[in-house]
Copies of this chain bind each other. A is one copy, B any other.
Amino acid sequence: MKALVLSAADAPLTVEELPDPVPGVGEVVVDIAAAALNHRDVWITKGKYPGIKFPAILGSDGAGWLEGRRVLLDPGFHWGEDPNAQSKAYHILGLPSHGAFATRVAIPRANVYEVPAHLNMEQAAALPLAGLTAYRALFFRAALKAGEKVLITGIGGGVALFAFQFARAAGAEVFVSSGSDEKLARALAMGAAAGVNYQTEGWAKQLKELAGGFDVIVDSAAGPGFPDLLSLLNPSGRIVLYGGTRGPIPNLNPQQIFWRQLNIMGSTMGNPTDFSNMVAFVSKHKIEPVVDSVFPLEEGQAAFERMAGGVQFGKIVLRV
Contact = CB atoms under 8 A, between A and B. Distances in A.
A319 to B, nearest CB: 32
Interface in A256-282: 256-268
User: Within the oligomer, what is the number of copies of this chain?
Assistant: 2
A86 B235 contact: yes
Interface residues on A, range: 35 or more
A260 B226 CA distance: 19
Contact of A241 (B220, B258, B267): B258
A106 to B, nearest CB: 27
A242 interface: yes
Given A241-B254, A248-B254, A253-B244, A236 B82 contact: yes
A84 B236 contact: yes
A258 B267 contact: yes
B249 A251 contact: yes
Contacts of A241: 254, 257-258
A86 B222 CA distance: 27
A229 to B, nearest CB: 12
Contact of A235 (B85, B248, B254): B85
Contacts of A235: 82, 84-86
A184 to B, nearest CB: 24
Interface of A: 82, 84-86, 141, 220, 222-223, 226, 234-236, 241-244, 247-268
5 contacts: A220-B258, A247-B254, A248-B253, A249-B249, A262-B265
Given A84-B235, A241-B254, 13 more contacts: A85-B235, A85-B260, A222-B252, A222-B254, A243-B258, A248-B253, A249-B252, A252-B252, A257-B264, A257-B266, A258-B268, A263-B266, A264-B264
